Amino acid sequence: MTKLPIIIDTDPGIDDAMMLTLAFANDDVLDVRLVTTCSGNISQDKTNYNARTFLSYIGASVEIARGLEGPFFRELEVAEDIHGESGFGNVKFPAPKLPVSERPAITAMLETIMTSDEKITIVATGPLTNVAALLLAHPEVKPKIERISWMGGAAVGGNMSPVAEFNAYVDPHAVEIVFRSGIPIVMSGLDVTHKAFVTIDEAENILRIGGEFADKAYQLVTYYLDVMKKTPFHEENYDQVLHFHDVCAVMYLLNPELFEGQNCHVVVSLEGITAGATVVDYTNRTDKAPNVHVLHTVNREQFVAEFMKAVEIISARLK
Ligand code: RIB
Ligand code: CA
């Protein structure tokens, strides 16, 4: 079976690391041609370092390119309160063996896409700054992009404001550019990621896999839980579960049958109190053509089972 060629744009980040675990465990299905880092959970210096550290640690061999330093117009707002100052909570990894690519992210994305025989799928699990910059600077890539699978946005609610999810909130202008691009988009917003959670008992099963990697994965996800209990804002059932937001963006590519969604017209608010709000027209009130496939339901038990398999695969590789 031919593999799906993908580029991953990410801001690791704890759930980004879980997403990378899933992606690289399934290297029989996914062909990760390039990883680029965006500013989001923490600064570009830290996301790039974390991507190189984590991917070195799990034995991946992939180019990792630095993206833009921050959003197009807004001041970068990070989420160190959730992911810790390092972005990986209090979990330490050995120094990275994988270098920073000599190519900046936009160049690496352009050249990877334009030299590929097949169309490339982009997985984005942070603010869309890099993806939007690529589309603005090089619109010639559009016909060669199969789809963008993005963790971000929300039809209802928000985790950065009452109406905005973090990745959309950080750079709403980038969301606008991507949503207008005409490229097929699958959006794993909070509507589905709040259902894609791991319970505390299931997290214990990560530990039972054994080995250093499983131990570090357990430490990462439980750091998330401890922090969520102390934050002033509360995501759904924040104190009993761990929302694996970013994992959805890859899980959908591997197992689309686990999800339900709807093609909708989606726009994003750019300014003011609603900045970053993704307005999802579920009932076609605007009578505008759908531009995004919005996921809203997931088979949670199967989602967790597939994730646990990925942890077992990576853990076995490192033993
Ligand atoms: O709202 C969740 C998103 O914000 C995830 O991508 C998480 O990593 C943070 O970036
Ligand atoms: Ca992320």
Name the least confident of 121-125, 196-200, 306-310: 196-200
pLDDT at 224 over 90: no
From the CA of 194, the nearest ligand is 1
CA of 150 to the centre of ligand 2 (A): 10
Phi and psi angles of residue 243, each rounded to the nearest 5 degrees, phi first: -80, 120
- The answer to whether 243 touches 15, Cβ cutoff 8 Å, is yes
What's the confidence (pLDDT) of residue 225?
A: 78
What's the confidence (pLDDT) of residue 229?
A: 73
| pLDDT, the chain, mean | 95
At the top level of CATH, the class of 4-318 is alpha beta
Q: How confident is residue 188, by pLDDT bands cut at 50, 70 and 90?
A: very high
CA of 207 to the centre of ligand 1 (A): 24
pLDDT at 104 over 90: yes
Task: Judge if the beta carbon of residue 188 lies within 6 A of ligand 1.
Answer: no
Q: Which tens digit of pLDDT belongs to each residue from 42-79?
A: 999 999 999 999 999 999 999 999 999 999 999 989 88
Q: Which tens digit of pLDDT belongs to each residue from 73-88?
A: 999 898 888 888 999 9
CA distances from 1 to 4, 31, 62, 193 (A): 9, 12, 21, 29
What's the confidence (pLDDT) of residue 200?
A: 87
What's the confidence (pLDDT) of residue 233?
A: 62
Determine what percent of the chain falls in helix, strand and coil, rounding each to the nearest 5: 40, 20, 40
Two structure tokens written together for 119:
């169309």
Q: How confident is residue 226, by pLDDT bands cut at 50, 70 and 90?
A: confident
SS3 assignment, position 276: coil
pLDDT at 248 over 70: yes
| Burial state string for 196-227 with b = 16 or more CB within 10 A and e = fewer than 16 | bbbeeebbeebeebebebbebbbbbbbbbbeb
**What share of the chain in percent tops pLDDT 70?**
97
- The answer to whether 295 touches 192, Cβ cutoff 8 Å, is yes
Domain boundaries, the chain: 4-318
- Closest approach atom of ligand 1 to CA 190: 1
From the CA of 40, the nearest ligand is 1
**What share of the chain in percent tops pLDDT 90?**
87
Cα–Cα nearest to 145, from 172, 178, 192, 174: 178
What's the confidence (pLDDT) of residue 232?
A: 65
Q: Any catalytic annotation for residue 245?
A: yes
Query: Given 83, 173, 243, 245, which residue is catalytic?
Result: 245
Task: Judge if the beta carbon of residue 171 lies within 6 A of ligand 1.
Answer: no
Mean pLDDT of 110-125: 98
